[in-house]
A and B are shown apart, each in its own frame.
Chain A
Amino acid sequence: MTSPATDTPLDPAARHQPFDAGRQGPGTPTAALVILTVLLLASVTAGLAIGSVHVPPGQVWGIVTHAVGADPSEPDWSRARETIVLDVRAPRVLLGAVTGAGLAVVGTAMQALIRNPLAEPYLLGVSSGASLGAVTVIVFGVTLFGPVSLSVAAFAGALGALILVYATARTGGRITSVRLVLSGVAIAAVLTAVLDLLLLTTDRGNEARAVLAWTLGGLGGVSWGTLWLPSTALLVGIAVLLLHARNLNLLLAGEEAATTMGLDVARFRARMFVLLSLVTGVLVAAAGPIGFVGLMVPHTVRLFVGGDHRRVLPTAALGGAVFLVWADIAARTVAAPMEIPVGVLTALCGGPFFLWLMRRDARRAAGEGVA
C-alpha cells in the first residue's frame, strides 16, 4: 500500500498527494468485501458444478433456487444430478467455506493475541491438540456429551495445546518467532506421536484407518446433519472477534501500551484463547487439521486492506472461504478418481508462504536498526 510518493518526499507535488486516499476512504474495504462476496458465490457455484459428474453452472443455480423454493418452474434435470449437487456436494462445499473462513479469522486473531505474525493454529500445535482430543474420544468410545463429544474433546485439546505453547514460548513478556515456532513444532510432534500411538495400539482397526485419513485434513463424508455445529461456531467466533476488533488493534501496539489505552490484557487474552480454541476445536472435529490457511489468508488480506481488524476480520473470513473451497475442488479433481486430502494441498502452498513470511520479517527486523 505504499504510495510511490513515499520515496520522493522532496517533490512538492507529491507532498500534497493524499497518500491514504485508497486506504482511508470507504472505497477500498467495501470494494474488497464486495469483490470477495462475488468471488465466494462464484467459487461455491464452481464447487457444486465441478466433479466426476459435471453439472453446468446454470443448472447448479436452477437446482439450488428450486430447492429453496425460489423457482417454482418444472425441473429439467435428473433426480441423480439433484442428489449430487444438494446432498453430496453442497454440504462439502459449505463445510469448506465455513472451515476456511474460521481458520482465517482464528489465525488473524491469534497473530494479534500472541503478537507474532507466524501464529497459526496448525503451526502452533493447536490443531494437533484438537486432533488428539477428538481421537481420544473415538478410540476410547467416550460419548459423555452425546453427539458433540468429539467437538468438546477437540476444544479441550486445542485449549490445552494453546496454553502450553504460549507458556513455553513466552519469556520476559515477549514471544520471539523462533521460540514460538520451536515450541509449536515440539508440542505438535509430541501430540502427534501420542495420537499415532493411540491409533496403532487400538483394537478398532477399521476406525483407526478412517481416523488416520481424517488427521490429514479432508472435507469428504460430511452431511447436512453435521454442518450446524461448525457453522454456529464460526458465526459466534466472527461476531465476538468483530466486537473486540478495537481491542485486537490495541494489542498491535504492545502489551504495556494496550494497557495504557484501557485494555486488561491478561483477561482479554484468556477469554480470546478460549474462544479461538472453541472455534478451532469444532472445525478440526469436522474437517481434520488443515494447515496454513490461518497464515496465508490474513497476511494476503492485510496487503490490500491494511492492519485494522475491523477490516481484516471480515475480509479474511471471505478470503479464507474462497481459498478453501478452491483448495477442495483441486483436492477432488487433480488426481481423480483418487482424492487428495485438502490439508496436503494447503500445506503445499503454505510451506513456501511461511518461508517467505519469515524472510520478510527478518528483513524488516534488520532494516529497523534504530528502533
Chain B
Amino acid sequence: MTAGELAVDGLTLTAGARRLVRDVSLTAHPGEVIGLVGPNGSGKSSLLRAVYRVLRPAEGRVRLDGADAWSLPVRQLARSVAAVVQESGTDFDLSVREVVAMGRTPHKRLLSGDTAEDARLIEEALATVHVSELAGRPFDRLSGGERQRVLIARALAQRPSLLVLDEPTNHLDIRHQLDVLGALRRLPATVLVALHDLNLAAYYCDRLYVLRDGEVTASGPPAEVLTPRLLAEVYGVASEVAVHPLTGAPQVTFLPGDTGHGRSRDGEDRSAVRTPGAARAGD
C-alpha cells in the first residue's frame, strides 16, 4: 500500500490538434480531499483521465508517491489508484456483488479464487455506500443513483491509496450526495474529485483547484478560492459568498441574471441587492 501522494507537474493534454489541458500542476497530499471545479469543458475529466492512466500526457508528468504513473504497469498502478469514471458499461447480467468484486481483480493472480478477505472487503465497500441490501440484485436493473453508489463501492473494494472520481454525485439525491461525500471524507485514501456543486465542494474538500479552458485559474482552501470575483470570471455568474453559520464552510449563493454582471433579465441592476429572498441557489 502506497501513501497516496499525488503530484501533477506541467501537464498538457491534447486530442488531435485540440488542447484539452495546458500546463496544469496539482498536488494532493496523503489523506487530503482535493476538489476539481470548473465549467463544462474546462478540462476536469481530461485531467482526471490522465491521473487514472487512460489519457496519455502530451507533456508533463503524473507521479504517485514519486513514481511516474505512466511508467508503472497498468496492474500495479491499479493496486494504488482506483477511479469512478463517467463511462457506462455493457449489460451482461452481473449482480451488484459481482460488479463490486471486480475491484479486487488487480490484487488477484490469474487463477486465484476469491478469499474470505476479499468477501469481507466487498461487504465493507457495499456497506460504506449503503448498498448492502442490493448485493444480489442484477446491476442493470438498478436506478442511476444506485448504480453510481455501486460503482463507488467497486472503487472502494480496490483499496486504493488514491481515489479519483468524476462527478460521483451525478444522479444522486441530496441525501446520497451527502452520504457519498461524507464517506469519501472518512476514507484513509487521498481523494481527487471533480464536482459541479460548489457548496458541496466547499464543505467536503480540503482544497480546490478551479479549472477554466484547461488551465488552473485558482487553487487553495475553499474559503480563499470561492470569491464572487472568481466565480464571475470563471462561470460568468453573479454570486454572493458568505460563511455559513452552522457548517463554517463558504456558502455560495448565485444571483439571477444572465450576463454575469449582476444584471437581471429586465435590465435592473441587482448587484447590490443582498436580500437572501431574491437569490436562488443552484448551479
A interface list, Cβ under 8 A from B: 1-3, 6, 15, 18-21, 23-24, 111-112, 115-117, 243-244, 246-247, 249-257, 259-264, 302-303, 306-308, 361, 364, 370-371
B147: nearest chain-A partner, CB-CB: A371
Q: Are the C-beta atoms of B108 and A246 separated by less than 8 Å?
A: yes
- A3 CA / B135 CA spacing, docked (Å): 12
Residues 141-178 of B at the A interface (beta carbon under 8 Å): 141, 143-144, 147, 151, 154-155, 158, 164, 171
Which residues from chain A contact B144 at a C-beta distance below 8 Å? 370-371
Residue pair A116, B90 in contact (C-beta under 8 Å): yes
Q: Indicate if the CB atoms of B75 and A19 lie closer than 8 Å.
A: no
Is the Cβ of A260 less than 8 Å from the Cβ of B82? Answer: yes
Any A CB within 8 A of the CB of B78: yes
Q: Quick one: given A260-B53, A262-B75, are A306 and B94 in contact (CB under 8 Å)? A: yes
Asked whether any CB of chain A lies closer than 8 Å to the CB of B16, the reply is no
B167 to chain A, nearest CB (A): 14
Give B contacts to A, CB under 8 Å. Answer: 49, 52-54, 73-79, 81-83, 85, 87-95, 97-99, 102-103, 105-106, 108, 110-111, 133, 135-138, 140-141, 143-144, 147, 151, 154-155, 158, 164, 171
Interface centre among A247, A254, A264 (most CB of B within 10 A): A254
Q: How far is the CA of A83 from the CA of B49 in the complex (A)?
A: 65
Residues of B within 8 A of A15 (CB): 133
Closest to B145 in A: A370
Using Cβ atoms and an 8 Å threshold, which residues of chain A touch B133?
15
Smallest CB gap from A174: residue in B: B87
The 7 closest A-B pairs by CB, nearest first: A20-B136, A19-B136, A262-B78, A262-B106, A262-B75, A370-B144, A307-B92
Please, which residue of chain A has its CB at the minimum distance from the CB of B109?
A: A246
A307 contacts which chain B residues (CB < 8 A)?
92-94, 98
A253-B99, A262-B78 known; 19 other A-B pairs, CB under 8 Å?
A1-B93, A2-B138, A117-B91, A243-B111, A250-B102, A250-B105, A253-B89, A253-B102, A253-B154, A256-B83, A259-B74, A260-B83, A260-B164, A261-B158, A263-B74, A306-B95, A306-B98, A307-B94, A371-B144
Give 25 A-B contacts (CB < 8 Å), ordered by A residue. A1-B93, A1-B95, A1-B138, A15-B133, A18-B136, A19-B135, A20-B135, A24-B95, A24-B97, A116-B90, A243-B111, A246-B108, A254-B90, A256-B52, A256-B87, A257-B85, A261-B103, A262-B105, A263-B74, A264-B73, A361-B91, A364-B91, A370-B144, A370-B171, A371-B147
Q: Inside 8 A of A244's CB, which chain B residues have their CB?
A: 110
* Residues A259 and B53 in contact, CB atoms below 8 Å apart: yes
Cα–Cα, bound, A261→B81 (Å) = 8
CB-based contact A246/B91 at 8 Å: no
B97 contacts across to A, CB distance below 8 A: 20, 24
| Residue in B54, B95, B103 whose beta carbon sits within 8 Å of that of A259 in the complex | B54
Q: How far is the CA of A246 from the CA of B94 in the complex (A)?
A: 13
Please, how many angstroms separate the alpha-carbon atoms of A244 and B78 in the complex? 17
| Chain A hits for B158, CB < 8 A | 261
Q: Is the CB of A260 within 8 A of B87?
A: no
Report yes or no: A262 in contact with B147, Cβ–Cβ below 8 A.
Answer: no
What's the minimum C-beta distance from B179 to chain A, rounded to whole angstroms?
A: 18
Residues of A within 8 A of B102 (CB): 246, 249-250, 253, 261
Asked if residues B52 and A259 are in contact (CB atoms below 8 Å), the reply is: yes
CB–CB A117/B85 < 8 A: no
Nearest CB on B from A86, distance (A): 37
A256 and B133 CA atoms in complex are apart in Å by 27
* Contact between chains at B74 and A264 (CB < 8 Å): yes
Knowing A24-B97, A261-B102, A306-B93, say if A364 contacts B140 (CB, 8 Å).
yes
User: Once the chains bind, are B89 and A252 in contact (CB under 8 Å)?
Assistant: yes
CB distance from A138 to the nearest CB of B (A): 38
Nearest CB in chain A to that of B81: its residue? A260
In the bound complex, residues from chain A placing their C-beta under 8 Å from that of B87 are 254-257
Task: Report whether B98 and A254 are in contact in the complex, using a CB–CB cutoff of 8 Å.
Answer: no
Contact of B95 among A20, A115, A256 (CB under 8 A): A20
Q: A112 and B92: CB pair below 8 A?
A: yes
B54, B77, B85, B93 pick with most chain A CB within 10 angstroms:
B93
- B83 (CB) vs chain A CBs: closest residue: A260
Q: Is the CB of B136 within 8 A of A3?
A: yes
Chain A residues positioned under 8 Å from B90 (CB to CB): 112, 115-117, 251-252, 254
In the complex, chain A residues whose CB is within 8 Å of the CB of B106: 261-262
- Name the CB-closest residue of B to A360: B91
Rounded to whole Å, the gap between the CB of A334 and the closest CB of chain B is 33
Across-interface contacts of A262 in B (CB, < 8 A): 74-79, 105-106
Q: Shortest CB–CB separation between residue B81 and chain A, in angstroms?
A: 7
Query: CA–CA, A263 to B88, complex, Å?
Result: 17
* Shortest Cβ distance from residue B238 to the other chain A in the assembled complex, whole angstroms: 31
B75 cross-chain contacts in A, Cβ below 8 A: 262-264
Could you tell me the distance between the alpha carbons of A261 and B156 in the complex, rounded to whole angstroms? 11
Residues of B within 8 A of A3 (CB): 136
A250 and B94 CA atoms in complex are apart in Å by: 11
A243 to B110 Cα, complex, angstroms: 6
